[in-house]
Amino acid sequence: MFISWCAAQSGNAGIIPRTASCYNGKDWFAERGRFHLRAAYTPRAGDVVYFSTRQYPNGGGHVGIVEKVENGYVYTIEGNTSGASGVVANGGGVARKSYPLGYPSIYGYGNPKYEQEEPDMTEAQVKQIIEKTKEAEQYNSVEECPAWARPTIEKLVQKGYLQGDEDGNLELSFDLMRNLVINDRAHLYG
């Protein structure tokens, strides 16, 4: 409720859910495509951080507002907590706290759509960026390949199936490399 109250006081009630349930808040952001798991996202000031506890896993245990991210730590303002270190749900106060970005109890982040943000990209724009990124990715040697592909690419170079251009550059796209690994895992190269 503290987060919902803060949103209402700051004029941001429409972009942060009005709820007393961490699960409902997390789901609200997820339904709008604005929830990110901890491992896949770097938080920003103004994000809502969801914590897991033993009693309430999957982000249902506690919540706070990200004040800043600095030097590998996320700094938060939390209600219904205490000044003690770690996640303290039902602590009865408001406190500024900090956690390493990889802190295991952080489940993820809701990312409110503040007015100053750029408008959302269309699905076509997102697909175009992904395709351009894939086209730009090129792996010219075994060492440049991701670890999951190296054994296959090394095997194909040793067998002479992959030789590269006149300078020895393999010029492998991500998609080609992925297909080669799939074929190798199907034992098509011996």
pLDDT value for 135: 55
Average of per-residue pLDDT across 63-81: 92
Average of per-residue pLDDT across 20-34: 90
Contact by Cβ (8 Å): 152, 181: yes
Average of per-residue pLDDT across 36-55: 90
| 3-class SS of residue 37 | strand
pLDDT value for 73: 95
- Chain segment 113-123, per-residue pLDDT in tens: 887 555 556 67
pLDDT value for 167: 77
Beta-carbon count within 10 A of 134 CB: 12
Report field, pTM of the whole predicted structure over 0.85: no
| 3-class SS of residue 99 | strand
Contact by Cβ (8 Å): 46, 65: yes
Continuous segment of H or E residues that includes residue 163: none
Instruction: Name the residue among 55, 61, 65 with its Cα closest to residue 94.
Output: 65
pLDDT value for 133: 54
Q: Per-residue pLDDT for 68 more than 80?
A: yes
Instruction: Name the residue among 110, 104, 19 with its Cα closest to residue 57.
Output: 104
DSSP state, residue 145: S
Beta bridge partners of 73: 70, 100
Span of 14-23, 116-125, 142-151, 164-173 with lowest mean pLDDT:
116-125
Instruction: Name the residue among 96, 77, 75, 88 with its Cα closest to residue 2.
Output: 77
CA distances from 61 to 20, 28, 149, 170 (A): 11, 16, 39, 50
pLDDT value for 155: 92
Average of per-residue pLDDT across 118-142: 64
pLDDT value for 132: 58
pLDDT value for 84: 73
* Residues near 128 by beta carbon (within 8 Å), at least 6 away in sequence: none
Average of per-residue pLDDT across 37-63: 89
pLDDT value for 128: 66
* pLDDT band per the 50, 70, 90 thresholds, residue 147: confident
Q: What are phi and psi of 34, to 5 degrees?
A: -125, 25
